[in-house]
Chains A and B, each alone.
Chain A
């Protein structure tokens, strides 16, 4: 049974990769129907090694190849006001993602109002969640500033809750002399039906399941002076219920997560400076005596600079900090209450990276992370919290290709 499903997954992955390759050999991105139909995709492979702890597979003092991304998407513009789009994604990421092919997004976008000054419309279907500056294309290597996004804001661990949602999104854009002001409001069902969504919230080997209420997501974005300035505010609300399973030690608890994100970016010709700050209120109630209940405010931020050395080479420097509870930054109170290490409640990550665009289609990246704390590590790759090490380094190499 297990072998069967593994075989099916490998087969679907191969199929996706095969499609990607055959499209590539047919030329570059395929444009049919006079350019109104477009097909694009990407693939990446990453090697990871860490001095301690595991990140994306068994990486502790060995090389993990368990991080790869393959995606294809199609879009069809039926009329100027109407576009259909869909994207498939296969992602392997250590114990958190197995490479099964899934619908990343699939939507109909209708913009009935459009003029020289702006446009307004609605998207219906599975919609990428607007969350900070990078989330909507978080799995596309070419759109990221680094191999992995700053984990304080874009956790790989809890990504499933914010990757996309099934519902509707209304949007308004105004094209002004100074810049473009956009606002979007989405209301949709987040994806909570996977182990990957459940484990970071309730832990490993829990028999119950998570249900989510429809989640509202608001983003306001100002892009000024030809995208030199990009300023954004995002507010998201997740309300999740745990349904205990057979002989569960947990009771029917509730998570309410309300991240607020402030984003700012300045783009000069050869360098960019980006910073995002998130205040994350988390309320955990009704799980009973065998769980860490409480309400606390998490805090996350990063400051990131990129510099284009030549048209093909770009360097990155970033400081990224995450605190699960800003009133217990070092995790001492948590450690006293749970006997788990306090350093699992924060992570401070200095990152340096290098990007080499061999061609516009082919990119190589190298990256080093020097980390204090394990706040963003996944339990699936690190099942024993007592075996975690507070100080650890992470080195990654990535090759990616797109069409």
Chain B
């Protein structure tokens, strides 16, 4: 799994701690003020589980709990759930500030791949 972002994002790598903060819905802005827009696949998909565990290194149920705690206390929002890898690629390519993930073999040229540093 690799992290993908909208092509206008200038970074080519991202610290894991920052990625966790973004996926944890705590960090809302890219450097340069572009709003972050997070796309994920449903919790029960194998892609989401692999991304959570290997790339983010957070168990998917812990990520879910962190989102729930924020949403139900008025401190944050959920990420947007997309139905398929195809939709993930389309939405990340077309939404400024978007971030998401796909299998490395499925990356298309209209999204930017972010390395973890």
Contact = CB atoms under 8 A, between A and B. Distances in A.
B20 A226 contact: yes
B74 A38 contact: no
Nearest to B74: A85
Interface string B41-84: 00110000000000011110111011011011111111010000
6 contacts: A35-B80, A83-B77, A116-B27, A180-B24, A180-B26, A267-B62
Contacts of A313: none
Interface of A: 29, 31, 35-36, 38, 40, 42, 71, 73, 75, 77, 79-81, 83, 85-87, 105-107, 109, 111, 114-117, 119, 123, 127-128, 136-137, 140, 142-143, 173, 175-177, 180, 225-228, 267, 269, 308, 311, 360
A140 B68 contact: yes
In which size bucket is the chain B interface? 35 or more
Contact of B29 (A80, A107, A109): A80
Given A40-B72, A227-B59, 14 more contacts: A38-B78, A73-B71, A80-B28, A80-B33, A109-B75, A114-B27, A114-B28, A116-B15, A116-B27, A173-B21, A176-B17, A177-B17, A227-B58, A228-B62
Contacts of A143: 65, 68-69, 72
A55 B21 CA distance: 41
A115 B66 CA distance: 20
B31 A31 contact: no
A77 B27 contact: no
Contacts of A228: 62
Given A40-B72, A80-B35, A105-B73, A226 B58 contact: yes
A111 B28 CA distance: 10
B74 A105 contact: yes
B74 A73 contact: yes
Contacts of A180: 17, 20-21, 24, 26
Closest 8 CB pairs of A and B: A85-B74, A226-B58, A80-B28, A136-B73, A227-B62, A175-B21, A80-B35, A80-B29
A165 to B, nearest CB: 13
Q: Chain A at the B interface: mostly helix, strand, loop or mixed? A: strand
Contacts of B59: 226-227, 267, 269
A137 B69 contact: yes
A38 B80 CA distance: 10
A77 B77 CA distance: 8
B36 interface: yes
Given A80-B36, A175-B21, A137 B68 contact: yes
B110 interface: no
A42 B69 CA distance: 13
A204 B8 CA distance: 64
Contact of B72 (A35, A73, A111): A73
Given A226-B62, A267-B59, A81 B28 contact: yes
A117 to B, nearest CB: 8
B16 interface: yes
Contact of A38 (B36, B37, B77): B77
A40 to B, nearest CB: 6
Contacts of A106: 74
Contacts of B44: 311, 360
Contacts of B20: 175, 180, 226
B106 to A, nearest CB: 23
A177 B37 CA distance: 23
Contacts of A73: 71-72, 74
Nearest to A314: B61
A105 B73 CA distance: 7
A81 B30 CA distance: 12
Nearest to A85: B74
B31 A116 contact: yes
B10 interface: no
B18 interface: yes
Contacts of A360: 43-44
Contacts of A136: 69, 72-73, 75
A35 B80 CA distance: 7
A77 B21 contact: no
A173 B17 CA distance: 12
